[in-house]
Structure 1
Amino acid sequence: MDRLQLERKQVWIYLLALLAGLLLGNAWPQIGPILERLLWPVLILLLYATFLQVPLLHLRVAVVDRRFVGLVLLGNFVLLPLLVWALLQWLPADPAIRLGVLLVLLVPCTDWFITFSQLGGGNVPRAIAVTPLNLLLQLLLLPAYLWLLADAEISVALSIVDMWPALLVIGLPLALAALSERWLDVHPAHAMWRERLAWWPVPLLAVVIVLIAATQVVAVRGALGLLPVLVPVFLAFLLFAALLAKLLARLSQLPTDQARTLAFSLGTRNSFLVLPFALALPAGWETVAVVIVLQSLVELFGMLFYLWWIPRRLFK
């Protein structure tokens, strides 16, 4: 099996991981504290392997094609936040549910959208080039979006005192990935290190899902009743994101391969990045992490549809 085949099958891997975690948590609830301690180092490894695939030190490459980059940024950081605000009106008043939706839908993906762009006939070099800009802007803008869109109860839960572990879990692998990229630029003979680590995100995310499901069994059970509310919201996001890409591509006369890449960028979200914030929240907010995992699963099934719809119907 090559890496592309592994990534094609990731949705089934994650579903099995979710089931395995629930069975583990039900059978041995006493191991919950041990699994919670394992979760943070696994997340650090996951984020490091993911960030290393992003050309963090090559922002200059991202802005070569200003039209394409401008559309990606307009869609991800101006128009989609407006869509998220509109979708928020259809959600129940539960602040944990709203926070989970805000966290996961406001940040564009910087990893598997490249894979889906490749599978869907998109422009992979441009997908790779724009990822560091997407990553940098989402880190800078997410606090502003939450301040604008979240209510007071959510703002209290996101206090800096509670969030410092999440900031460390994100900042440490980000810094290590940047240093590793610099080292690889100086020593290109070791580029195989990056290729080997490119295999890690799928199995590591599966481990993260197992650990979350096993330690949050009660929250997962409680979230089952939310499926009729959350799944339509996540599906609506996928639909409107693709239609938005179609509109932007038509208005700007974007080439077909770039238009497909734009659609995958707008449709995929960065659940890896926001999971640490969800897990750092105080007791009573466990639903936030469950919402993020649920969105990831819905998105992956949505990508299977995207891979048929985008190259064959939306952007032929």
Structure 2
Amino acid sequence: MLTLSSRPRLPGVTLTSSLLLAAIVGGALLGHFAPARGQWLGDNVDATLLTMIGLLFFSVRFEMLAQQASNLRFLAIALVANFVFVPLIGYGVAALFMAAHPLLMVGLVIYFMAPCTDWFLGFTRLAGGNIALGMALVPLNMLIQLLLYPLYLQWFTQQTGSIEVQLIGTTLLYWFVLPAIAALTLHHILRRVLGAQRFAQCLTWADRATPWVIALLVMQIFAGNIAVMLAHHRVFALLLLSVFVFFVLTFLLSEIICRFCRLDYPEHALLTMTIAARNAPLMLAVTMTALPGQPLIYAALVIGMLVEFPHLTLLRRVLLALSARRYPSQRQT
């Protein structure tokens, strides 16, 4: 995750994008020219995964839910869009373009089905959206996507026999429920012990560390699996096209919902960003534990995450242009 503070900024997003690209290139080169070292990195991801999981949960602020309880209508709209309409669109796109490549299709479905719980806030702020309401969405998005993960995988990947869905529940318990309890317990203990100001600084440190941990995990994935990925490199252009079509369709979905529900501009911008942004870091961690030894699935998630940043940057410009035309009295600078 990036920053979950009330003033997210774009530099953290730019840093994450640069780190991801460097991690992909560095891991691929290491795995190709020093395969023994690359394999060692690929075989030792557990500590990195647990560190990332702990940081993701430690940064969540569940208290924002109570502060935004009066906005139940918007929260309901966003949840239905993110967990009903967007997964259906994502599955349709993945099935259309990647049916001949089932593992990459599974990776795309996993990427498409999970709404973002981190950097969408930075882009929402830059587009003049409702940040406080967006922060209330974070814990809801995180909890619901983890609960639905086994069900989505069962419904959308029945044709992929290599996935043992019945084991996912147990995996989520040991790799996510227990670490989440530990991280959230530490969160609340430190909040009480350190006080508001020092604890806010602690959260800032956690936010700054998370992109580096994500980059390390991506480097390990590519270092340990570059040979398999290169064997399927011709399919990645089709993968990029799939992600592009998904982003176009989800933008159209957000526009339809915003017009039908008559949302004001701050909520319009927030809904558009939360529908567009996906939670690749958490889904990557879940998938690496629930579906071990599937580098093509992991690669689909990482590539989707990398493409997402320029898309959200463009989307922010589109929203600001729309706000000048449709909401001149509400535009936020």
Mapped contact 2:123–2:312 kept (Cα < 8 A): yes
1:11 is aligned to 2:17: yes
> TM-score normalised to the size of structure 1?
0.90
Mapped contact 2:32–2:227 kept (Cα < 8 A): no
What residue identity is the alignment partner of 1:66?
Answer: L
> TM-score normalised to the size of structure 2?
0.86
Q: Deviations over 1:150-178 (max 9, x none)?
A: 22434x51344477556533334322221
- Please state whether the residue corresponding to 1:109 is helix, strand or coil: coil
Moved more, 234-243 or 182-191: 182-191
Q: How does 1:82-93 map to 2 (within 5 A)?
A: 82-90=88-96, 91-93=98-100
Distance 1:277 1:219 in 2: 21
1:74 is aligned to 2:80: yes
What residue identity is the alignment partner of 1:289?
Answer: Y
**Counterpart residue number, 2:122:** 115
1:198 is aligned to 2:198: no
**Counterpart residue number, 1:249:** 258
**Alignment gaps of 5+ in structure 1:** none
Distance 2:280 2:78 in 1: 18
Mapped contact 1:104–1:295 kept (Cα < 8 A): yes
Distance 1:40 1:15 in 2: 22
**Counterpart residue number, 1:140:** 147
Distance 1:116 1:219 in 2: 34
**Counterpart residue number, 1:105:** 112
Distance 2:131 2:179 in 1: 24
Q: Deviations over 1:208-264 (max 9, x none)?
A: 111111111112213421122111111111112122111111111111011111111
Mapped contact 2:27–2:220 kept (Cα < 8 A): yes
Distance 1:166 1:20 in 2: 30
Tell me: CA distance 1:47–1:131, structure 2 relative to 1, closer, same or farther (3 Å).
same
Moved more, 31-40 or 69-78: 31-40
Distance 1:218 1:13 in 2: 22
Question: How far off is 1:46 after superposition?
Answer: 1.8
**Counterpart residue number, 1:231:** 240
Q: Percent identity?
A: 24
Q: Which residue among 278, 281, 285 is the counterpart of 1:276?
A: 285
1:286 is aligned to 2:286: no
Tell me: CA distance 1:213–1:298, structure 2 relative to 1, closer, same or farther (3 Å).
same
Mapped contact 1:57–1:182 kept (Cα < 8 A): no
Question: How far off is 1:184 after superposition?
Answer: 3.8
What residue identity is the alignment partner of 1:25?
Answer: G
What residue identity is the alignment partner of 1:81?
Answer: P
Mapped contact 1:32–1:215 kept (Cα < 8 A): yes
Q: Deviations over 1:10-42 (max 9, x none)?
A: 222211211111111112111234313432211
Count, aligned residues? 313
Distance 2:207 2:132 in 1: 16
Mapped contact 1:166–1:276 kept (Cα < 8 A): no
Q: How does 1:215-226 map to 2 (within 5 A)?
A: 215-226=224-235
